[in-house]
Amino acid sequence: MTSAMNSAERRSLTRRDEDYRRYWDPLRETMDPDARASLILERVQHQLHYVYETIPFYRRHYEAHGFHPDSVKSLDDFTRKVPVITKKMLVADQAEHPPFGSYLGVAPAELARIHGSSGTSGIPTMYGISRRDWERSAEVCRIALWSAGVRPDDIVQISFPFGLFLGGWGLLQACEVLGACAFPVGSLMPTDQQLTQLARMRVDALVATPSYAQHLGRRAAELGIDLSGSHLGVIIVAGEPGGSIPEIRKAMSEGLGGAAVVDLGAGASSEMHPFYANVGCRHAEGGVHLVQDENYTEVVGRDDPNVPIPVGESGAVVATHLWRESQPMIRFWLGDEGHLDDSPCACGRTFPRLPRGVYGRLDDMLLIRGANVYPSAIDAIIRETPGTGREYRIRVTRSGELDEMRVEVERAADAPPDRDEQLRHDLAERLRAGVMVRTPVDVVAPDTFDVQMFKARRVIDERLS
Amino acid sequence: MTSAMNSAERRSLTRRDEDYRRYWDPLRETMDPDARASLILERVQHQLHYVYETIPFYRRHYEAHGFHPDSVKSLDDFTRKVPVITKKMLVADQAEHPPFGSYLGVAPAELARIHGSSGTSGIPTMYGISRRDWERSAEVCRIALWSAGVRPDDIVQISFPFGLFLGGWGLLQACEVLGACAFPVGSLMPTDQQLTQLARMRVDALVATPSYAQHLGRRAAELGIDLSGSHLGVIIVAGEPGGSIPEIRKAMSEGLGGAAVVDLGAGASSEMHPFYANVGCRHAEGGVHLVQDENYTEVVGRDDPNVPIPVGESGAVVATHLWRESQPMIRFWLGDEGHLDDSPCACGRTFPRLPRGVYGRLDDMLLIRGANVYPSAIDAIIRETPGTGREYRIRVTRSGELDEMRVEVERAADAPPDRDEQLRHDLAERLRAGVMVRTPVDVVAPDTFDVQMFKARRVIDERLS
């Protein structure tokens, strides 16, 4: 029972954490990396044979590439020999073999859950999760929540939408198996009420997207709600990149009373869910541990996914389900970029990490006059520039052969318009230094733009139309 | 695996049902009623002592009424001596002792879930459910789904909102413990997509409110979607009264390809959830079995809840949690009206039934010139009158001392306006005969009113303003 503690005392639980077991599964979380590598190789070989022999989608794909599972004798073979699969291939296969594609792997009667992508543009991609997979994923989700600092006494407010979208469901079942109290308010509850309930129900942990956590913080400031005396000890973010970017982490923490921020979302996608195997901890300042013996994550060449990229260097992220039987992803091209770090973390876990999470979706990456520009990098720069408001848009156009990128940013609600010229100059300077592309800035009035809460889409790329 | 069957074959499962166990829990479902009564008395006495000794809200209430648990020696004593509690009392107690009131019964750290009323007008009523209660309720929810005909091979589309509202969550966990596949689309998915998915995913069972199930059926007709060849074998309704009214049942079934309709909602309320103890079956034409050894339901005097009403006669419905420890409801005044039937059901279950479910909320009951008028009765009459459209409103006014009730009804989309006079006359006649109050009718154009999907609120009582 922690209900008599305020957030300052609550946050001092970093000390009291020692009273709890530090790890949910010490054997697994602190395993010698070489021993883990052997286990991973064994599972990789198992999965390759399973999908080759059982799943038509993979059989066709591998045969078309002249690949046979027997040729994988090492993890290096795995990287160099196994062709990746992409979202585009999955979508095409589902169109041809509705509703689950030819990669379901189990009989429909064995499914525990059906979910899907938001499908805003057309038919959603459908996700079928077998009972064994659903139960197994609860275990790794529990490791994730435990690593984030959630304990059985805690109340966890989950502000993810509950419906077709898979993101919130895995974390909900993690609460259940961990024994924490779930308060699954979903996305139907208005923001002001979410804030009221956060304080009123003495919520210990908030689960939200980075966008929505920032939105809650800004709204709290507008309403004069100070959560620094509340129970809220940790903000757990997932569903979008951004949770490992220092500026965004700072904005979320400051907006919500100084709570710790733990990223569970970096490098995940609905195809890999509900296996939350990218796990932040309270000791790392951002970044995620990769539970490599659950989902094996590789960093590979942006242009050639069969080329391994050394630890410390940036590349494309590819992920593999080592245990999943239903719709298993084997070398799935996530479309994210990141780099690995295998140095020890203060928490003692021996998993490698993505120390900055993922920088952004490669799919969302903008190519501006030949330079790679990540909207998430622009987001971070805007957030740390004084005088900027809640929303902004990135507008990309083409004049002749030349790409033009502009940023339109709202001024802060409490900033006087006569500082606009200064803000315009400041932000343009920071953008030039940060993203290496000259980016003119327009300052507009507060509330010019709709607030983006989920899957923040703030880029208007007019070159595409 | 039933994926190769169409709905006609699927529905013939009433025969194949015999291959399954007919009951989930034969001992409990076919118990001799006298033996069950002994068990109920034992639990009633246990709960009375528990709440008296442990829960301040009940202690105060019982002391104020001079009631002591020791005085209950029989179920008749229970009805005649124990003061009821009302929603109003719970709301007042939560205002005084936020957030859960003084009737939580367990420490907050023992809670598995927090939910709440929609709270559209102000602060929601908060529901705290302990881990033991949450797990126990899964068992009775499973009995309910099994009784509705859901089996482990089935896919169950749940079109309830998932958030603060408790209704859908109990049925979701019932799917989990039953081993059926849950497709929890929630209320975020647009209606047209809900229909597409129903067919595309080969859904066997749909869970929705009666209002929404009717809305889906009407929309299917508009879109020309014929579900009679689909897998959909059963529509499970809850969350509102109406699922036991023949006209509404007929509309739902016909709208959705002829599927069976099973009512799980009649006489339930969020205070009694997630214990779904009012359980329709596929053998009863409407009505619900009362799982009396879980939630004990009594029919009592409308004006005096300590007067028992004989089987077969109509009265107010009062319910008691026999096992719940967190926020247990002991003689909770549901505000619904119904009557009991203890004759044998074709399914063989020995529970008494509410053969017509509940007729409507007593709170919602209109008193028109001294007559009791239930909006649900008016709803049924409108639905069975040819030429009526999708929506209507009931408008009540007072002129001088006299109450006036009018119905404004949309004409059917395919009805010519020159038939309005005939419709006006027909419907007024039927209303006069059915609700015993002269009710003028206005016919308006299709789409005049917003569609009400949840907790249909179609009464405009201008006497209150």
CATH 3.40.50.12780 residue ranges for chain B: 3-32+131-358
The amino acid that residue A405 corresponds to is M
Residue among A151, A132, A178 nearest A275 (CA): A132
| Inter-chain CB proximity B114 and A182 less than 8 Å | yes
Which superfamily does CATH assign the domain made up of A3-32+131-358 to? ANL, N-terminal domain (3.40.50.12780)
B99–chain A Cβ distance below 8 A for any pair: yes
Whole-number pLDDT of residue A19: 42
Whole-number pLDDT of residue B19: 42
**CA of A393 vs chain B CAs: smallest distance (Å):** 26
Residue among A165, A167, A170, A201 nearest A183 (CA): A201
pLDDT digits (tens, 9 = 90+) for A301-339: 988 999 999 999 999 999 999 999 999 999 999 888 889
Residue from the list B107, B111, B182 with its beta carbon closest to the beta carbon of A113: B182
Answer yes or no: are the C-beta atoms of A69 and A81 closer than 8 Å: no
Whole-number pLDDT of residue B5: 45
| Inter-chain CB proximity B188 and A187 less than 8 Å | yes
How many angstroms separate the CA atoms of B295 and B144, rounded? Answer: 13
pLDDT digits (tens, 9 = 90+) for A18-33: 445 688 999 999 999 9
Which chain B residue lies closest to A194 (C-alpha atoms)?
A: B164
Cis-peptide, bond into residue A99, ω within 30° of zero: yes
Tokens describing residue A386 = 């004084």
Average pLDDT for A344-356: 90
Q: How confident is the model at residue A269 (pLDDT cuts 50, 70, 90)?
A: confident
Answer yes or no: are the C-beta atoms of B3 and A109 closer than 8 Å: yes
Per-residue confidence of chain B (465 residues) as pLDDT tens digits?
Answer: 334 444 444 444 443 444 456 889 999 999 999 999 999 999 999 999 999 999 999 999 999 999 999 999 999 999 999 999 998 899 999 999 999 999 999 999 999 999 998 654 467 899 999 999 999 999 999 999 999 999 999 999 999 989 988 889 999 999 999 999 999 999 878 889 999 999 999 999 999 988 889 989 989 999 999 999 999 999 999 887 778 888 889 999 999 999 999 999 766 788 998 898 999 988 777 789 999 999 999 999 988 999 999 999 999 999 999 999 999 999 999 988 889 999 988 889 999 999 888 876 666 778 787 777 878 788 888 988 889 988 899 998 887 778 889 999 999 888 888 999 999 999 999 898 878 788 999 999 988 887 766 555 788 888 765
Helix (H) or strand (E) holding B320, with range, is strand B314-321
- The ipTM estimated for the assembled molecules is 0.82
Whole-number pLDDT of residue A456: 55
How many angstroms separate the CA atoms of A297 and A277, rounded? Answer: 9
Q: Which residues of B touch A185 (CB under 8 A)?
A: 163-164
How many angstroms separate the CA atoms of B5 and B229, rounded? Answer: 9
Strand partners, A63: none
A132–chain B Cβ distance below 8 A for any pair: no
Average pLDDT for A385-401: 87
Tokens describing residue A168 = 């919130």
Q: What number of C-beta contacts closer than 8 Å exist between A and B?
A: 107
Q: Which residues of A touch B101 (CB under 8 A)?
A: none
Answer yes or no: are the C-beta atoms of B395 and B460 closer than 8 Å: yes
Who has greater pLDDT, A24 or A40? A40
Whole-number pLDDT of residue A360: 65
Answer yes or no: are the C-beta atoms of A159 and A198 closer than 8 Å: no
Q: How many CA atoms lie within 13 A of A120 on its CB side?
A: 4
How many angstroms separate the CA atoms of B67 and B46, rounded? Answer: 15
CATH 3.30.300.30 residue ranges for chain B: 366-464
B312–chain A Cβ distance below 8 A for any pair: no
Helix (H) or strand (E) holding A376, with range, is helix A375-384
Looking up tokens 């005909």 gives B149
| Radius of gyration over every alpha carbon of chain A, rounded to an integer in angstroms | 22
Which superfamily does CATH assign the domain made up of A366-464 to? ANL, C-terminal domain (3.30.300.30)
Who has greater pLDDT, A134 or A119? A134
Residue from the list A153, A162, A186 with its beta carbon closest to the beta carbon of B109: A153
Whole-number pLDDT of residue B262: 94
Whole-number pLDDT of residue B62: 97
A188–chain B Cβ distance below 8 A for any pair: yes
Residue from the list A98, A115, A181 with its beta carbon closest to the beta carbon of B113: A181
Answer yes or no: are the C-beta atoms of B272 and B295 closer than 8 Å: yes
Who has greater pLDDT, A182 or A274? A182
Other beta carbons within 10 angstroms of residue B273's beta carbon come to 24
Report whether pLDDT(A393) > 70: yes
A186–chain B Cβ distance below 8 A for any pair: yes
The amino acid that residue B318 corresponds to is V
Q: Which residues of A touch B2 (CB under 8 A)?
A: 109
Helix (H) or strand (E) holding B335, with range, is strand B332-339
pLDDT digits (tens, 9 = 90+) for A44-76: 999 999 999 999 999 999 999 999 999 999 999
Tokens describing residue B387 = 């030429």
